[in-house]
Amino acid sequence: MPESLTQFEGRKRDHIALALKNETEAAGLAGFSRLALVHEALPDLNFSEIQLNVKSLGHDVATPFIVSSMTAGHVASVDLNARLAKACAARGWWMGVGSQRRELNDHEARGEWQKVRAAAQNVNLMGNIGIAQLIVSELDQVRALVDALEARAMIVHLNALQECFQPEGTPDFKGGLQKISALVKALGETPVIVKETGCGLSQSTLIRLTEAGVAAIDVSGLGGTHWGRIEGQRAEGVDEVRSRAAETFADWGVSTVDALLAAQEAQVASEIWGSGGVRTGLDAAKALALGARRVGFAKPILQAALDSDEALVLRMETIEFELKTALFCTGCKSIDDLRSRKVWQWQKAQTHVEK
């Protein structure tokens, strides 16, 4: 039975509320604590020389940061997304939009993004479609999503674990890789990005996606918001099998660090983006040092955006300053320097000595 509009909006509201809970985060599993950036006590540069711009998807962008796709399709999301878009436009971050699923069959749903565009005309937006929806959609429908949004790129989200535990889930992924390849051809100059949703990507999957021609791959590894945990909580009292099984898979996934290392080892040709448990500018610096071209934030930005415009801008400025500090203190003037030099090492175990 098709999901009603009321059910859809309720599910999206549930996702926001649950994503903010500590118990739905696979905290500490991203792997960033295993790495240390090597301190350079005498950097041969001034802090004012530090540059955060990067070349990505054929564009020279002001920072490597993106706001990862989060929410859409319910009443509260319009103001929230407008707030995010204004901040992203002001600071040069790109923004992945929330689900465009409703737009596939309801053109009026595009009104949300028209309001967001009106609030921040210069923001760089990226579209959003789940792999299960892509598989059953006509390619012209997906192109229409891109055109309506004036999107810089289309992100295809992979969420196998979430679909298994979601009471309304559609875990039907057969033919997904072929459809992604077809979408790459159909969209032409509009880049296709493939993104996991918190469970990471194995080396073999990274290679297959590169061979399919995608422009960028966001590893979105284990260590941040865990959608298996979220859907497991939503299933409580509704579907006890899914609820209990979700507990078994509470730490399922490939960590962000391991996924980035796998991409580096395989010399993946597509751009690699890092997200999943990235909470600070220092975490971002570590992801960039492991070869990520861009870095995505979700939960920290969502928390700040729900507070106020001022809190959101403060969080973004802090993240940028933290990254600049990491660059300065490793003797790197640019993101390219950070990515090309070996400025990281495995963190040594801390030994506590009693006195």
Domain boundaries, the chain: 50-345
| Residues 299-334 pLDDT 10s | 999 999 999 999 999 999 999 999 999 999 999 999
- State the average pLDDT for the chain: 91
pTM: 0.92
Q: What is the reported pLDDT for 1?
A: 47
Q: Which residues lie below 8 Å from residue 143, measured CB to CB, with a gap of 6+?
A: 186, 187
| Residues 250-302 pLDDT 10s | 999 999 999 999 999 999 999 999 999 999 999 999 999 999 999 999 999 99
| Residues 125-172 pLDDT 10s | 999 999 999 999 999 999 999 999 999 999 999 999 999 999 889 999
Cα atoms in the Cβ-side hemisphere of radius 13 Å centred on 226: 26
Rounded to an integer, what distance in angstroms lies between the CA atom of residue 83 and that of residue 308? 9
Band the pLDDT of 3: cuts 50, 70, 90.
low
Domain 50-345 has CATH 2.40.30.10: no
